[in-house]
Amino acid sequence: MFEGRGYQLEIAPAFHWSLKTDILAHTARAAACQILGEQVLPSKGTLDNDSAFAATSFPIAHVRAAFPALNRPPGFVFFDNAAGAQIPQIVLDAVNHHLLECNVQRGGRYAKSQEVDATIVRARKSVADLVNARDPSEIAFGMNATSFIRMVSLAIGQALGARNEIVLTDMDHEANVATWLILERFGAKFSWWKMREDGLLHAGDLVPLLSSRTRLVACTLASNAIGSIVDVAAAAEVTHRAGAEIFLDAVHYAPHGLIDVRAFDCDYLACSGYKIFAPHMGFLWGRRELLQSLPTFREDFIPDEPPGKIEAGTFIYENVAGMDAAVRYLEELGKLLSPGDIAVSRRAALQHALTAIQKYEQSLTLGMLEVLNRCGATVYGITDKGRVHHRVPTLCFNVPKIPPAKVTEKLASANIGVRDGHMYAPRLMKRLGLSTNSGAVRASLVHYNTPDEVREFGATLDEIKRSC
């Protein structure tokens, strides 16, 4: 028996997520969809407009059962996913397996070491599939996204020449701003691609900022503060027309939508595993020819070839094993959602999973907008219900006359985890007219959050408003 918040259901052991369980067998899948299809119906809600939670065929009960941390008492509504998500059992198992069975250095001639080598090769292929890279050698593993952005900025800073202008946005996380601003000491000049009042960055506004002096545009795929999605393919097109390169920060977007470096036509992309259901680690994708020419630090005996030339020292193998399993988690979810298609490719399965996630998350966004609107909160960014496809379920708001820290403290005492502050996007806070000291409250949801949790959040917020 799985007891979620606000709902209870039976899950047959066969439907628990497990490496060993062949849930993807066609008949099992069909049965699972049927069973889960009944289970996913949201419980009767108290929202004014329950259509906000239009029942999708998203297997939410199955998803939640896959994440052990979500099922441990006491009940807890976790709406701080933008700071790091929970991990499914399949990822725990992979990390555990690595530490128990092959916690050794790679590159040895003995079996355990060879297993580490094999894990890294497999993980590189998995992440290459996740981002649609042309080749696994375009994927580098490391500590986190920030250190990769800095590594590329250091390399680019050494070779600015006459193309010394860098375009930054006022919407980005500071990790994709400060890492470039530091190139001022190498003669870099900066211009700012600004968000419009509609909460979006428009590629048309980028055009006048570009010239034959532009070296690079650095922008996010989605705002970690207000959730807006950026049309990065359009940005890449105008950037390339000017002969410049585009560096994408995929950290906030990755758990919410499909990454496709070929469709985006970007040049570099950095991401963090811990935002996408893996442990703490980061990865970088770059066009192979660019990575090849990038000057990086490496010891003499490391060939000047990606990915080795970008991975100085030892990275955390168990977390890379976890990242590989996180891709498998998404793949298996996609296969579960691919009716009748037993031979679906991994990339197609990932596409199914992330398309379904996006759709389900849009219903969560609608629910969040509704409860925030009902309690009179000021929501920053896209609030128009007809435009929810331009955002992810990351809601930044303030409740009139109640400081953000007080709202999050009160929510915390009701076992609801959200965050307050500048969200590491101080320029965006200023742009929104907010103090960078107090900022705003951010509730950030992912696909394992539920309509019931949204209702509970809304009811608690109403109560806070009444009592303050």
Ligand X SMILES: Cc1ncc(COP(=O)(O)O)c(C=O)c1O
> Which chain residues interact with ligand X by CB under 6 A?
82, 144-146, 173, 175-176, 220, 224, 249, 251-252, 272, 282
Instruction: Look up tokens 């030339």; give the residue.
Output: 309
Q: Closest separation between CB of residue 212 and ligand X, Å?
A: 29
Q: What is the largest CA-CA distance in the chain?
A: 67
By beta-carbon proximity to ligand X, the closer residue of 147 and 378 is 147
- The answer for residues whose C-beta is within 8 angstroms of residue 239's C-beta and 6 or more apart is 206, 210, 214, 217, 245, 246
Would you give the end-to-end CA distance of the chain in angstroms? 38
By beta-carbon proximity to ligand X, the closer residue of 150 and 447 is 150
DSSP 387: G
Pairwise CA distance, residues 148 & 272, whole Å: 10
Pairwise CA distance, residues 468 & 464, whole Å: 6
Q: What angle do the packed helices 451-467 and 404-413 form, to 10 degrees?
A: 120
List the alpha helices (DSSP H) in 40-110: 60-65, 89-101
By beta-carbon proximity to ligand X, the closer residue of 119 and 144 is 144
Torsion sign, CA atoms 451, 453, 459, 465: negative
Q: Closest separation between CB of residue 227 and ligand X, Å?
A: 11
Q: Kind and range of the H or E element at 269?
A: strand 268-272
**Which amino acid is residue 445, in one-letter code?**
L
Q: Closest separation between CB of residue 397 and ligand X, Å?
A: 18
By beta-carbon proximity to ligand X, the closer residue of 274 and 329 is 274
Q: Closest separation between CB of residue 369 and ligand X, Å?
A: 21
CB atoms within 10 A of CB 110: 9
By beta-carbon proximity to ligand X, the closer residue of 33 and 226 is 226
Q: Closest separation between CB of residue 155 and ligand X, Å?
A: 17
**Which amino acid is residue 333, in one-letter code?**
L
Q: Closest separation between CB of residue 104 and ligand X, Å?
A: 26
By beta-carbon proximity to ligand X, the closer residue of 373 and 436 is 436
By beta-carbon proximity to ligand X, the closer residue of 116 and 219 is 219
Characterize the bridge pairing of strands 214-220 and 394-398: unpaired
